[in-house]
Amino acid sequence: MRSFFHVSDIGDLAAALQEAKQVKATPFAWKNLGQDKTIILIFFNSSLRTRLSSQKAALNLGMNPIVLNVGADSWKLETQLGVVMDGDKSEHLREAIPVIGSYCDIIGVRSFAGLSDREFDYAETILSQFIEYSGKPVISLESATVHPCQAFADLITIEEYKTKPRPKVVMTWAPHPRALPQAVPNSFAEWMNAADVDFVITHPEGYELDPKFVGNAKVEYDQMKALEGADFVYAKNWSCPGVTNPGDYGKILSKDMGWVVDERHMAVTDNAYFMHCLPVRRNMIVSDGVIDSPRSIVIPEAANRVVSAQVVMKRMLEGLK
Ligand code: AN0
Ligand code: CP
């Protein structure tokens, strides 16, 4: 595997889920695979789970992880080509990326969408440069449009908790005080479409996700109707994807507190499990009662981030040989 962005990069999904089971059962069985190999994890943005789970996955495989917080630990990096660098950015990605590539075998990058220029974000302009200029396998640790390590962990979690062959999974938009990227809902939709689930997306009008991620998913604007009979409720905020109105890209169109997932919403489900990628704002996205209930699986979901990252790194290491 040369890069990890999309569900298609993992190949046969059933085989990947089987491998995830093995990795979870015997995490140290491939301890020799990563010997003398180095992964550099680059963070342009904050992280708790991705930072720690990626390091843990690398250590489980016997690899050496090095973490770089861009800006805080390093020079501030310019990402736009052709600019006069007379501002606060001391170094360009064009030099920084090949330098980073020369120090490691695999690179992971977290770089959120800027949410101002849709074209720049949706072309994955920054991660594409990492692929082009590093010559190393690149993992998206949430880039402008995708968060595949999260979606893979989400699917692993659904596989573990499902009690029906084809569960109903509902992804619902929920309000948030700040504009957030579409990477998490994009990837979740992409992975659910590839999985054997009955998948429904619900959000207020104007929040339509990019059609390439929505695929054949059912979109239901009535949140309560969407949630009826759900086996899994996946809550997430995202800002306007700019599909119907490009001028609204990255904007907050609604803060309707009626969309906060609470006991009233969960009551119409089939005793659904509650999921969220975290970090989550309590009583904005989800009520205390729901996230503290026995049906909330946000902690095992986060724990599976080690498993998804380890499967991806394992495959990349196997590809290096
Ligand atoms: C980020 C987002 O919504 O993309 C990271 C989630 C994993 N969330 C926040 O910035 C709060
Ligand atoms: N879910 C997730 O990616 O969390 P962090 O932003 O803390 O890494």
Indicate which ligand has the atom closest to the C-alpha of 43: 2
Indicate which ligand has the atom closest to the C-alpha of 153: 2
Indicate which ligand has the atom closest to the C-alpha of 284: 1
Q: What is the pLDDT of residues 109-165, one digit of tens each?
A: 999 999 999 999 999 999 999 999 999 999 999 999 999 999 999 999 999 999 999
Classified as helix, coil or strand, 306 is helix
- 8 Å CB contact between 78 and 89: yes
How many angstroms does the Cα of residue 180 sit away from the middle of ligand 2? 13
Residue of minimum CA distance from atom 1 in ligand 1:
180
The closest-lying atom of ligand 2 relative to the alpha carbon of residue 48 is: 7
Torsion of CA 315, 317, 320, 321, to 10 degrees: -100
The closest-lying atom of ligand 2 relative to the alpha carbon of residue 278 is: 1
The model's pTM is: 0.98
The closest-lying atom of ligand 1 relative to the alpha carbon of residue 183 is: 4
Residue of minimum CA distance from atom 10 in ligand 1:
180
Q: What is the pLDDT of residues 200-257, one digit of tens each?
A: 999 999 999 999 999 999 999 999 999 999 999 999 999 999 999 999 999 999 999 9
* Residues 6 or more apart whose Cβ sits within 8 Å of residue 105: 37, 38, 39, 136, 137, 317, 320
Q: Tell me, which fold does domain 150-301 have in CATH? A: Rossmann fold (3.40.50)
Please list every protein residue whose CB sits less than 6 Å from any atom of ligand 1.
Answer: 142, 180-181, 183-184, 277, 279
Segment 282-293 shows an average pLDDT of 98
Tokens of 9: 């990069």
Q: Do 150-301 and 3-146+304-320 fall under one CATH topology?
A: yes
For the packed helices 148-161 and 183-194, what is the interaxial angle rounded to 10 degrees? 50
Please list every protein residue whose CB sits less than 6 Å from any atom of ligand 2.
Answer: 47-50, 142, 150, 277-279
How many angstroms does the Cα of residue 270 sit away from the middle of ligand 1? 28
**pLDDT band at residue 71 under the 50/70/90 scheme:** confident
Indicate which ligand has the atom closest to the C-alpha of 180: 1
How many angstroms does the Cα of residue 181 sit away from the middle of ligand 1? 7
pLDDT at residue 80 in the model: 87
List the domain boundaries for the chain.
3-146+304-320, 150-301
What percent of the chain stands above pLDDT 70? 100
Residue 203: name the closest of 232, 179, 225 by CA.
Answer: 225
Residue of minimum CA distance from atom 6 in ligand 2:
47
Q: What is the pLDDT of residues 162-191, one digit of tens each?
A: 999 999 999 999 999 999 999 999 999 999
How many angstroms does the Cα of residue 85 sit away from the middle of ligand 2? 31
> What secondary structure does DSSP assign to 36-101, as a single string?
T-EEEEEESS--SHHHHHHHHHHHHTT-EEEEEETTTTS--EE-STT----SS--EEHHHHHHHHH
How many angstroms does the Cα of residue 305 sit away from the middle of ligand 2? 9
Q: Give, for ligand 1, the residue of 184, 209, 234 to mutate: max count of ligand atoms closer than 8 Å to Cβ.
A: 184
What's domain 3-146+304-320's architecture? 3-Layer(aba) Sandwich (3.40)
pLDDT at residue 321 in the model: 63
The closest-lying atom of ligand 1 relative to the alpha carbon of residue 147 is: 7
pLDDT at residue 87 in the model: 96
How many angstroms does the Cα of residue 44 sit away from the middle of ligand 2? 13
